[in-house]
Structure 1
Amino acid sequence: MFEIFKQKTKKNILALGTSFVLSACTVGPNFEPDHMKLPENWKEHKATPEEIERTNKEMISWWSLFHDPLLDQLVKRAVEGNYNLQIAGQRILAAKAMRDRYTAEWYPQGEVVTSGGVDRFSTSLGNWPIAGYPSTYPFMAYGPNVTWQLDVFGRIRREVEAQEDVIGQNIEARRSVMVTILAELASDYMLLRSTQLQLKIADDNIRVAQDNVNLVSKLYQKGVGNTLQIAQANSELHAQLGAREPLKTRISQVTHAIDVLLGQMPGTSEDMLKIAGPMPVVPELPATLPTIVVANRPDIRQAERRYAEAMARIGVAVSNMYPNFTLPLSFQPQFSAFHQFFNASSFFWQFILSISTPIMQGGKLTAEVQSAQAEAEATRLAYRQTILTAFKEVEDAFAAWNDDEEREKFLRRSSEDSQLASDRAKKLYKAGLTGYLEVLTTQRTALSAQNAHVLSRLERLQDAVRLYSALGAGWRGIALTSTELPINTTEQNILAKAFTQ
């Protein structure tokens, strides 16, 4: 009779648990993307369909548009060796592992318990000792304990959903790191080439200044010049020599920065990078639409994933207000002597449905829901702010591109005209038709104009880098690195091959 009752009880509990699982519902709001009204075109540049098609192809490997093989090589090495990029990859692995940890809560959780020792009861109670029962006795027990939490109201589902969004955030964070690294590397490389060109201009001006010293000295020996002109020529030569040193320092510092971006010790690539080369060419103006930028920029995509995670956290907070259903299963033989090890009377087991319902929490659970709702609204607003910031960066980059293009044209003409004026002043001085002060003035003007032109060319190159970075270019086409932790979990536990932990 008792066995029949036990079998019916187990069937009823199983049926009750199954019905709860089948009727389970997920509480809390579901995530819906926030739709922000976007302009149809950029204010600074209205893109044509042809430009959009071209740019979409170029954004995958935009650095190749500068037609510099060394820059292409540096990008490849940075993608493979940059430590910040590897750190971001490990955070993705960590987030995926946490997702698996929350997913495991869907399944029964079991452990094997073994205990033994001596129990002693208090003998100071009024009715103790009871005849035939000693106050101390040996105790041993072993067996599995299994707990299965039924996800009736979706708490576990919401936790897993939130962690999936955390994975998405870490993926987008790695892509943001990729965009930043590419922009820094390209910008440093442009600075290196422009500084090397400035150093060449400085060397040319030192030779000119030395020629002037020689010329003034010869004229003085012929009785045409004077000591003032010799002093002025020497002063200009020493000034040119002094201006060269900061340029050498900047070249060293930039090469060190590039090495760090490549994930290697500063100075490793110094011999290769210090070989002067031509400045890269400025590519065509990239153009796209606002909607494409929203879909492409990693920071915007990451902000959206934060919003999705916050919405899932609301569901977790709401589910805590509902009953919690648990199926505990215990099977533990308990005995005092080894000869009772397999006796039927030693076996103890328990299989019940446990339901815990919060009733008196003093407003704690309601406050948690309200906090989660406020946090979700904050992340939604942060998502919108991220879009505004991104659009500002793109519009600024378009404006700088157009303005710096015109500025570079004017400064190029200024450099050419000032060099012509310097050459003419030197010829007139040799002929005795003008003073040495005119020669110095025109040479200084020519040097200043040449440096200004080089800096304007650098600004145009960096405008291109900034615009591609603002468009979120560079991460598409580069797969996520597949890295593994150095610890092999199967070697840490002899039971790992038999049980998944």
Structure 2
Amino acid sequence: MKTKQLSKALKLAPLALIISLSGCAVGPDYQEPTVTMAESYLYSDGEQLNSSDYWWQQFDDQTLNLMVSDLQRQNIPLKRAAERINMARSYHSVVESFKVPTVNVGAGYYNYQLSKNDSLLGPALNPIGDSVAALPPQMGSAVMLDNQHDGGFVGASIMWEMDLFGRIGHQADAAQIRVEQAEIYQSGLNTLLTADLVHNYIQFRGAQERVELLNDNIADQRKTLDLVKKVVRSGYGSDLDLAQAQAMLAATESLLPQLEIAQQVHKQRIATLLAEPLDAVEKRLETDQAVPTIQGVIPTGLPSELLQRRPDIRMAEREIAAVNSELAASVANRYPKFFLTGAPGLSASNFDDLFSSDSFGWAGSVGVSWNVFDGGRGEAMVDINDARLESAMLGYQHTVNSAITEVDSMLFAYGRSQENQMRIEHARQSSEVALSKAKSLYRAGLVDHLTVLDAQRQYRLMLDRQVAAKLQTAQVTVGVYKSLGGDWQI
């Protein structure tokens, strides 16, 4: 009885050792970084930001809304980012697979012949009478071992590394974090591309509106030039007036190719973003529309919300977590590795006997591997990952600081652009009043037609500056929302 109990205890000893060491995972535990942030932005209205609102829809432009939806569905870089997620997930599955046993199965047929002249096995392959003369003649033809053999086999080999110190587990955690980073990258790329599309659409509409105003201005200046020519021919004007009118017209006409180039560049960029041919984009943009504007203030939320909204901050935080897991894996790599191996199988010289119980055989082992000396390589790997961790933490702090600065800068620019737009609007109103009075005075015969044309030119100039101011405000609006981050995925 005692012998049986001792034998049972010896069999259970390896299992007890494994269970006792299973809680011996080594390496630093991850702690999320903490930063001190202000309670509000310097130039914020303090309103809460609703992350469920797709802000570009506040432009109330159905063409823009449709293009954003198509962009997020068919943009090529976004599709590539999705494939990066698939690759990261597959790599995580590869690392996770090392946690479970590796099983290889095989089957085959073998045939071999041993040499009768072999110094070790030769005597056993030749007739006994040839090597031992004293034996009876009737045993002269007997052999101890056949020199030809064949048969079949079916078997498996099993190997499992017991992750007692958490090396594989930490590597799997790092691989999972890389999946999360790939997803964050896709989200951030979606934000950048959506903002790029909105920017190019607004700039195209602005160039389109400015071309229309410029053509009207050119028409007015041509009328002015014709009038000046008549005055000069009548002897009441000077060549200086004529030269000035011609120079002003030429300068105004020189702006038209620049705006047409801008239109073409923005259309080409939109086509690239949408992964569509240029003619398809031109059909989308064939209607003339004014520059879209957002009314009211932008809700900004709290600075602390940036930690979860900004893709670059989230990416930096996940980088700390990934490097921390890789550091823990490098620490665990310096500890012993334990292996379980086994090779059960069937082997027989006759196929009919292959699956009988007597054909079964197996081999098993428990092993340990410990790199006790590597010239400092293991310690150096730990030091490298420790330095990477410190660098990642500094990078996180820098990313947070840069994000706060960017938001404050964009909010400041947003406020000033609105102020500029208000002043341009006041100037436009004043030039409109001046034009109205010039027309009234002309009808009363108190001023000549040149005065009216000059007032028209000033008014159209203010209209052009008003479009430029709207463009600036719209562009800054895009920058504000981009700096605030958030998930822009429809």
TM-score grouping bracket, smaller chain normalisation: 0.7 to 0.9
1:22 CA displacement: 5.8
Output aligned runs, 1:251-290, within 5 Å: 251-283=263-295, 284-290=297-303
Q: Is the 1:257–1:266 contact (alpha carbons within 8 Å) kept by the matching residues of 2?
A: no
Give yes or no for the alignment of 1:151 onto 2:149. Answer: no
1:118 CA displacement: 5.9
Give yes or no for the alignment of 1:379 onto 2:392. Answer: yes
C-alpha RMSD over aligned residues: 3.4
Q: Deviations over 1:192-220 (max 9, x none)?
A: 12111211110110110122133234434
Instruction: Say if 1:209 and 1:103 are closer, same or farther in 2 by CA, change over 3 A.
Output: same
1:421 CA displacement: 5.4
1:415 CA displacement: 3.7
Q: Is the 2:116–2:122 contact (alpha carbons within 8 Å) kept by the matching residues of 1?
A: yes
Q: Deviations over 1:5-57 (max 9, x none)?
A: 9xx9899556514640464022111111011111112122361xxx21xx225
Q: Is the 1:147–1:326 contact (alpha carbons within 8 Å) kept by the matching residues of 2?
A: yes
Instruction: Say if 1:213 and 1:426 are closer, same or farther in 2 by CA, change over 3 A.
Output: farther
**SS of residue in 2 equivalent to 1:268:** helix
Q: Is the 1:172–1:301 contact (alpha carbons within 8 Å) kept by the matching residues of 2?
A: yes
Residue 193 of structure 1, aligned match among 180, 185, 205: 205
Amino acid at match of 2:94: R
Residue 403 of structure 1, aligned match among 413, 416, 421: 416
Instruction: Say if 1:94 and 1:127 are closer, same or farther in 2 by CA, change over 3 A.
Output: closer
1:326 CA displacement: 1.4
Q: Is the 2:33–2:393 contact (alpha carbons within 8 Å) kept by the matching residues of 1?
A: yes
Residue 322 of structure 1, aligned match among 308, 319, 335: 335
Instruction: Say if 1:130 and 1:17 are closer, same or farther in 2 by CA, change over 3 A.
Output: farther
Q: Deviations over 1:82-123 (max 9, x none)?
A: 122222122222222222222222222111134555668899
CA distance in 2, matches of 1:371, 1:101: 24
| Aligned position for 1:250 | 262
| Aligned position for 1:180 | 192
Output aligned runs, 1:77-476, within 5 Å: 77-114=70-107, 129-132=122-125, 141-220=153-232, 222-226=234-238, 229-283=241-295, 284-334=297-347, 341=354, 347-418=360-431, 448-475=461-488
CA distance in 1, matches of 2:33, 2:329: 21
Instruction: Say if 1:250 and 1:123 are closer, same or farther in 2 by CA, change over 3 A.
Output: farther
Amino acid at match of 1:31: Y
Instruction: Say if 1:343 and 1:275 are closer, same or farther in 2 by CA, change over 3 A.
Output: closer
1:453 CA displacement: 2.7
**SS of residue in 2 equivalent to 1:267:** helix
| Aligned position for 2:26 | 27
Instruction: Say if 1:124 and 1:233 are closer, same or farther in 2 by CA, change over 3 A.
Output: farther
CA distance in 2, matches of 1:101, 1:285: 46
1:366 CA displacement: 1.3
CA distance in 1, matches of 2:379, 2:68: 52
CA distance in 1, matches of 2:427, 2:106: 87
**SS of residue in 1 equivalent to 2:98:** helix
CA distance in 1, matches of 2:386, 2:271: 46
Q: Deviations over 1:169-211 (max 9, x none)?
A: 1111111011111211111121112111211110110110122
CA distance in 2, matches of 1:442, 1:467: 37
Amino acid at match of 1:100: S
Amino acid at match of 1:56: N
Instruction: Say if 1:378 and 1:9 are closer, same or farther in 2 by CA, change over 3 A.
Output: farther
Moved more, 83-92 or 135-144: 135-144
Amino acid at match of 1:399: F
Instruction: Say if 1:313 and 1:244 are closer, same or farther in 2 by CA, change over 3 A.
Output: same
Q: Deviations over 1:203-251 (max 9, x none)?
A: 1101101221332344345543455544543443344333212212211
- Aligned residues, how many? 466
TM-score by length of 1: 0.82
CA distance in 2, matches of 1:11, 1:197: 89
Q: Deviations over 1:426-449 (max 9, x none)?
A: 99899696897x889877665554
CA distance in 1, matches of 2:64, 2:89: 34
CA distance in 1, matches of 2:109, 2:19: 37
| Aligned position for 1:498 | none
**SS of residue in 1 equivalent to 2:43:** coil
Q: Is the 1:85–1:177 contact (alpha carbons within 8 Å) kept by the matching residues of 2?
A: yes
Instruction: Say if 1:345 and 1:210 are closer, same or farther in 2 by CA, change over 3 A.
Output: same
Residue 56 of structure 1, aligned match among 50, 61, 84: 50
**SS of residue in 2 equivalent to 1:142:** strand
Instruction: Say if 1:342 and 1:175 are closer, same or farther in 2 by CA, change over 3 A.
Output: closer
Q: Is the 1:62–1:473 contact (alpha carbons within 8 Å) kept by the matching residues of 2?
A: no
**SS of residue in 2 equivalent to 1:264:** coil
Instruction: Say if 1:14 and 1:142 are closer, same or farther in 2 by CA, change over 3 A.
Output: farther
User: Rg larger in 1 or in 2?
Assistant: 2
**SS of residue in 2 equivalent to 1:353:** strand
Amino acid at match of 1:411: I
Structure 1: unaligned runs, 5 residues or longer:
479-501
**SS of residue in 1 equivalent to 2:343:** strand
CA distance in 2, matches of 1:250, 1:9: 87
Instruction: Say if 1:384 and 1:375 are closer, same or farther in 2 by CA, change over 3 A.
Output: same
Q: Is the 1:13–1:353 contact (alpha carbons within 8 Å) kept by the matching residues of 2?
A: no
Q: Is the 2:75–2:275 contact (alpha carbons within 8 Å) kept by the matching residues of 1?
A: yes
Identity of aligned residues (%): 25
Instruction: Say if 1:127 and 1:246 are closer, same or farther in 2 by CA, change over 3 A.
Output: same
CA distance in 2, matches of 1:18, 1:146: 21
TM-score by length of 2: 0.84
Instruction: Say if 1:257 and 1:373 are closer, same or farther in 2 by CA, change over 3 A.
Output: same
